[in-house]
Amino acid sequence: MDEYSPKIICFKCNFGWGYLDDKKEINAVMKSTVPVTCSGKVDSTHILTALKEGADGVLVLGCSQGECHFQDGNYQTGKKILLIKKVLTSFGIEPERVRMVFSVDPDGIKVPLEIEEMRNEISSLGPINIGKCAMAS
């Protein structure tokens, strides 16, 4: 267990995160990062499926509040994540496994840092135990 490192799926909005960076670089380093044009495109099923398929946590990086290129995409996803946390809690899954960050980082330097930070914070939770909570139903 001392080798354990949580696996994280990260969605990052292109408009706020790392658009100056050569995108391929970020993606090469982190295969589990999904670039989306607007965090509003992230669906609840995306998040839940990721957890079901073996991710220990899901991180969504959205633009700062009020700066969404598509008006309120980040706000809507923020709302969605709040609800998902409640649903997860009721299934016995720690809500910390889903997180959203509202900020801006044109160079994309903060993307690995945010993932690392989340990894550290949820590593004490251990691997996710889906079987117990019957996600499949």
Partner 1 sequence: MWKTECGGRTRVEQAVKQFLPPCQVQCPINEDIQRTNVLISMLPEDPNTAQEGVQQIGDYLYERNPLFTVCGYVCGLCELECNYSSQGGAIRRRLLKRFISDTYTYNLDEKEEFNIVKNKENVAVIGGGPAGLMCAFDLSKRGYRVTVYEATARLGGALWLIPQYRLPEKVLTSALENLVRIAGIDVKYNTRIGDGKLTLDKLKNEGYKAIFMCRGTPTPRVLTFGKEQLEGQDLSGVMYGHDFLYEVSHGNIKSDYFRGHKVVVIGGGNVAFDVARTARRLGAEVSVACLESENKSSRDGIPADHEEIKGAWEEGIQIHYSRGVKKIHGESGIFQKIECPLCTRVFDDAGFNPKFDPDDTMFIDGDVLIITVGQGPDKSALQKEGLLDEKGRLAVDPLTLQSKTKEWIFLGGDVRKIGFMVEAMRDGLYAAESIERYMRGLDMHEGRTRAYEAQEIPRSRHYKHEPDIVWIPPEKRMHFQLFERGFTLKEAREEAKRCLTCGPCISCKACISIGLQDELPTVTVHEERCSGCGICTSICYYGSAQMKHVADNKVKSMTDMFQCKACGMCVVACPTLARELIGCNLEAKYSGAIAAL
Decide: is 119 part of the binding site for partner 1 (CB under 8 A): no
- What count of Cα atoms within 13 Å lies in the side-chain half-sphere of residue 63? 23
Q: How far is the CB of 29 from partner 1 (least distance, A)?
A: 12
Joined tokens for residue 126 = 């251990």
Residue whose C-alpha is closest to residue 121's, from 98, 102, 137? 98
- Identify the residue among 12, 15, 81, 97 touching partner 1 (CB under 8 A): 15
Distance CA 33, CA 11 (A): 6
Residue whose C-alpha is closest to residue 114's, from 57, 40, 69? 57
Decide: is 72 part of the binding site for partner 1 (CB under 8 A): yes
User: What do you get for the CA distance between the two ends of the chain, in Å?
Assistant: 29
Tell me which stretch binds partner 1 (CB under 8 A): 73-81, 95-103, 112-120, 128-136: 73-81
Q: How far is the CB of 106 from partner 1 (least distance, A)?
A: 6
Smaller CB separation from partner 1, 67 or 116: 67
Decide: is 33 part of the binding site for partner 1 (CB under 8 A): yes
Distance CA 112, CA 26 (A): 8
Decide: is 107 part of the binding site for partner 1 (CB under 8 A): yes
Residues that bind partner 1 (CB under 8 A): 7, 9, 14-15, 19-20, 23, 31-38, 40-44, 46, 49-50, 53-55, 65-67, 69-73, 75-76, 80, 106-107
